Amino acid sequence: MAITTLDQLGAALASNASRLVIDKASIASQAAGTYVSLWRATGQPGQGAIPAAAAVCNNTLLGCFGVAQQTAPAESIAGWGEVATGNAAMGIEVHDRLMHMGGLSGTLTTAQTVNLDLSANLGTDNVADRIGDSNYSDVQWWLEWYTATGASVVTATCAVTYNDGTTGTVQASLAATRPASHMISLNGLIPVAGAGKFIRAVTSITLSATTGTAGSFGVTATRKRMSMPTYIANKPEVYDVWQLGWPKIYEASCLFLIALTSTTSSGIVRGGGKIAHG
């Protein structure tokens, strides 16, 4: 049955829950106020692989939290979380990694194929439920780095398809060296011509010039499920279901961590949580 009351949630947390273990090593060479993917950070969960061609992500991938899968009408709710960071004033977010791809080069100036299309994969690994609203407004799109590209200032023009089927471009400035695990959100870069629309696919990326180093980067689509900020270094912060927003964790979710940095590294991230099933 669905978990709809605090009594049901409490009983499920006590007797029928998946435990989350967070113990991630620090990622260096970052910048304050930027997003850092912990997909490739070592520790727990394990280090995720660098993706190649576009693929749907699910709960079987190394790099995500292991959560027991349920059969409807049973469901899963994130009911409790705890996190501490080696750096003060950090933002720690748990996202469902919906689709990803990698292997794009920082030295190619021709269009590089991305082919990340959520609308074409709604029937795979429960993507239709995992995206949230059917207009794709709950999906966050990112450029994600796996190895650093060069320091030359270039513009990345991303060819996109919007929720209404129209197409357009979103431009991201690569103003300095982009280190491994750096992330740039594309959602806030939708131009005025696309105002009120939401991205459902990224088809290709074209760089305005070479960055000077090939490196490896790609595109990732996620949906944020939890936010757990920290305030003082190495002090655990505890979040209950109301602070987490009573987030439903859908079947096949590929849960992983993203950090919003306060300094030049992600810092160690440690903690845990519980996903209640009922």
Residue 124, both tokens: 């795979």
Residue 256, both tokens: 């992983």
pLDDT of residue 1: 65
pLDDT of residue 12: 85
Residue 168, both tokens: 């357009």
What does the chain come to in residues? 278
pTM of the model: 0.96
In the chain, the amino acid numbered 239 is Y
Q: Which of 272, 65, 138, 44 is nearest to 57 (CA)?
A: 65
pLDDT of residue 176: 84
Residue 87, both tokens: 């750096």
pLDDT means per 10 residues, the chain with 278 residues, are 85 90 97 97 98 97 94 92 98 98 98 98 98 98 97 97 98 92 97 94 98 97 98 97 96 98 97 95
pLDDT of residue 164: 97
Contact call for residues 104 and 217 (beta carbons, < 8 A): yes
Q: Is the dihedral angle over the CA atoms 169, 98, 92, 182 positive or is it negative?
A: negative
pLDDT of residue 3: 87
CA dist list (Å): 102 to 68, 142, 262: 28, 12, 27
Q: Domain limits of the chain?
A: 6-277
